[in-house]
Structure 1
Amino acid sequence: MLTAPLDRTTAQTAISLANRAPSVHNSQPWRWRIGPSSIHLFADAARGLPATDPEGRDLRLSCGAALHHLRVALLATGLATTVHRLPNPAQPEHLATVETHAGIPLAEDLALARAIEVRRSDRRVFSSWPVPEQMLDALITVADHQGAHLTVLDRESHRNAVARLVERAAVQQALTPDLAREIARWTGRTRGAEDGVPAANVPKESEGTVPVRHFAGARQQQNPLGTDESDGTVLTLLSTTHDGPVDQLRAGEALSAVLLTATRFGLATDPVSQPLETPTTLAELRSSVLGGAAAPQILLRLGWAPMSATPVPLTGRRPLADTVDDLDEPVG
């Protein structure tokens, strides 16, 4: 397939949308390089979280989400893509090369691109309105297209197990040296911050099916629910057959695809990574929920925000220029 020329304005526009991808603690751990007919994605180790994410799983998932956002944004401009993941084994921080080709976006492709600006992580409780099965089936399908599997955890035993594992991971992480300092550094930010988690995006009270990770300065008002109404979260788990760096990158792409499709449907979403960040809770999640048959990558809460819910504030992003390097610059 012949590549199509990529002008810098189009590339920068697409990267600006890709930078809206979710990332662990909104750390935005990626960098981009623009070529004549390609865009290159690199992991930014300087923005990694060594206490929270010592093996880089969350970093690669975050970069995978940005990679999928980029593909969606490019297609909306009429550029289809071919992705070469980890193209240089001697350069593991080079996560992907994205070649551009002429393409024709469909209406659903344009809707997916529009969802990038609308999507937010909503850590509050959700309404008890059921999520239609056809929507869940569609989310399973889009995850499958990205090389991952989305499992709906509809058994009460699985939901209770996840809640316990979140709490257990929180205890284990509290005993991890330097983790509290790392959390304090990346959370409790003001609304004007260009990275990190703002205090206005973390609910004061944790009342839902899945406990909310402890962040500094929680100031968000919890969603109001009706009398005798409980959190209507639909809990799902993204997994892959294997668990290497490419699998984690693909899991991030699948996460992006699911989040943007759910946003198109009007659903509220909230990725949950905490119980996958400690070895013991990760192993138990794989055993108790997946029967050891797959590698869990990230949990995702889905549901409907109550009609009276206030909009989730937009989180900050770094200036575009801070995320793009010249193609011929040395790495590091």
Structure 2
Amino acid sequence: MVQAHPDPDTVRSALALAVRAPSVHNTQPWQWRVGDRTVHLYSDETRQLPLADPDGRDLLLSCGAALHHFRAAARSFGWHTVVHRFPNPAEPQHLASIGFTEVTPTADVITVARAITRRRTDRRRVTSWEVPPTHTRHVAEAGAAEGALVHEIVGGATRTRLVQAFQEAARLHHDDAAYQTELALWSGRHIASEGVPARSAVTAVDPLTREFHSPTLTEAVIHDLEERGVLLMVHTAADDPLSRLRAGEATSAVLLAATTFGLATCPLTEPLELPGTRNLVRADVLSDSGFPQLIVRIGWAATSAAQVPLTPRRPLDEVVRPL
């Protein structure tokens, strides 16, 4: 008899890679339910950040990234995923129902899946070494194939206005005592399976880098002052939950594609967490033609920079249960 679905060990292996996805402040706001023939993704709203993410946009982006990680992992194991997003309108926390069909994985598919364990969020400055346009185009196309729009924010006035939005959001967050309390709860940790570890955060000298609590990661030594790295805007035509989930999937595709080239990557959301600065970004960068969801910085890390430590994850049994 032809097997119509992966065995439990294969599903668990794919889920172990899925939870390597990045999430806002490493909150890992997902729950997975495994049935006999299907896998289901749910959002865990108990892990939503009230101050940094009051409308749950970052939560859905995080879950979308995990969904794409799962799809990439499953395909590398020989299983194409058939995804029904938001399958039950009466249960908005049920984000995806996933079925399977057999497929022969290609070398490209395996390369992308292998990038899951190599990807890190590198908050350090990148060098001014040029990212080849062919790399940038391939990375953007990988994201656009996942149901969102991805385009490069080129230098000049547009990039300057974006940096100003980052600076304004950082100033507002710095002056918000409640936000700072929440940030302290989710960063600066030394031994934990959640939150941003101190060893993964760097003292912010780049206006694009969020200032987490008690950072201990050493900044790379870079002597030039040129504009660094490529900024890719992930945006959508609408701003509904489905659009946000698909933007998370696109973000995962961008990050993994960039990692296959050896590029350092860092998802950036701070100016999009506040209505005022998000509206500024929408007007100045997108000309009010869509909704900014996330920015990804890609670039070459300094050759002298040590590898960023792997960020811990919650035990798999905490986020995976039988249906």
Following superposition, the deviation at residue 177 of structure 1 comes to 5.8
1:69-80 matched pairs, under 5 angstroms: 69-80=69-80
Superposed CA deviations along residues 166-224 of structure 1, whole A, max 9, x for unmatched, are: 1211233345462111100000011x3211101111112x333x432121101111111
2:308 matched to 1:312? yes
Q: Quick one: distance in 1 between partners of 2:150 and 2:316?
A: 32
1:232 to 220, 225, 228: 228
1:223 lines up with 2:220 in the alignment: yes
- Unaligned stretches of 5+ residues in structure 2: none
Q: Which residue of 2 aligns with 1:188?
A: 188
Which residue in the other structure is 1:321 paired with?
A: 317
Counterpart of 1:11 in structure 2 is: 11
Amino acid at match of 1:314: L
The answer on whether the counterparts of 2:131 and 2:229 sit within 8 Å (CA) in structure 1 is no
Partner of 1:207: 205
- Residue 263 (structure 2) aligns with: 267
The amino acid of 1:215's aligned partner reads F
Q: 151-160 or 279-288: which moved more?
A: 151-160
Shift of 1:229: 4.6
User: What does 1:105-120 correspond to in 2, within 5 Å?
Assistant: 105-120=105-120
Aligned to 2:232, the other structure's residue is in SS state: strand
SS at match of 1:281: helix
Letter aligned with residue 238 of structure 1 = V
Mapped to 2, the partners of 1:285 and 1:174 lie a distance apart of: 20
Deviations 1:216-250 (A, max 9, x none): 10111111113x35452211211111110000000
Kindly state the Cα deviation for residue 144 of structure 1 after the two structures are TM-superposed: 1.4
Task: Measure, in 2, the Cα distance between the counterparts of 1:254 and 1:159.
Answer: 22
Structure 2 distance, partners of 1:220, 1:189, is 12
Q: Which amino acid aligns with 1:249?
A: L
Q: Sequence identity, in percent? A: 43
Secondary structure of the residue that 1:317 maps to in structure 2? coil
Aligned length: 322
Q: Which runs of 4+ in 1 moved over 3 A?
A: 174-177, 228-231
Residue identity in the other structure for 2:153 = L
> What's the counterpart of residue 125 of structure 1?
125
Q: Which amino acid aligns with 1:203?
A: V
RMSD over aligned Cα, in angstroms?
A: 1.4
5 Å-filtered alignment, 1:78-89, equals 78-89=78-89
Aligned to 1:330: none
- Find the counterpart in structure 2 of residue 247 from structure 1: 243
Matched, 1:276 2:275: no
- Kept after mapping to 2: 8 A contact 1:3/1:100: no
- Post-superposition CA distance 1:112-131 (Å, at most 9, x none): 11000000000111111100
Distance 1:290 1:176 in 2: 28
Structure 2 residue aligned with 1:198: 197
- Preserved contact between residue 51 and residue 177 of structure 1 (Cα < 8 Å): no
Partners of 2:208 and 2:268 within 8 A in 1: no
* CA distance in 2 between partners of 1:51 and 1:300 (Å): 22
Q: Quick one: which amino acid aligns to residue 257 of structure 1? A: A
Check whether the contact 2:20–2:116 (CA below 8 A) recurs between aligned residues: yes
Q: 1:117 to 1:80 in 2, by over 3 A?
A: same
1:155 Cα deviation after fit: 2.7
Q: What is the CA distance between 1:324 and its match in structure 2?
A: 1.0
Change (3 A) 1:3 1:162: farther
Q: Give the match for residue 92 of structure 2.
A: 92
Unaligned runs of 5+ in 1: 328-332
Shift, 1:152, TM fit: 0.8
SS in 1 for 2:180: helix
Aligned CA distance change for structure 1 residues 305 and 231 (closer, same or farther; 3 Å): farther
Map of 1:291 onto structure 2? 287
**TM score, norm. by length of structure 2:** 0.96
Partner Cα distance (1:272, 1:12) in 2: 30
For 2:210 and 2:316, the matched residues in 1 are separated by: 29
CA distance in 2, matches of 1:301, 1:143: 14
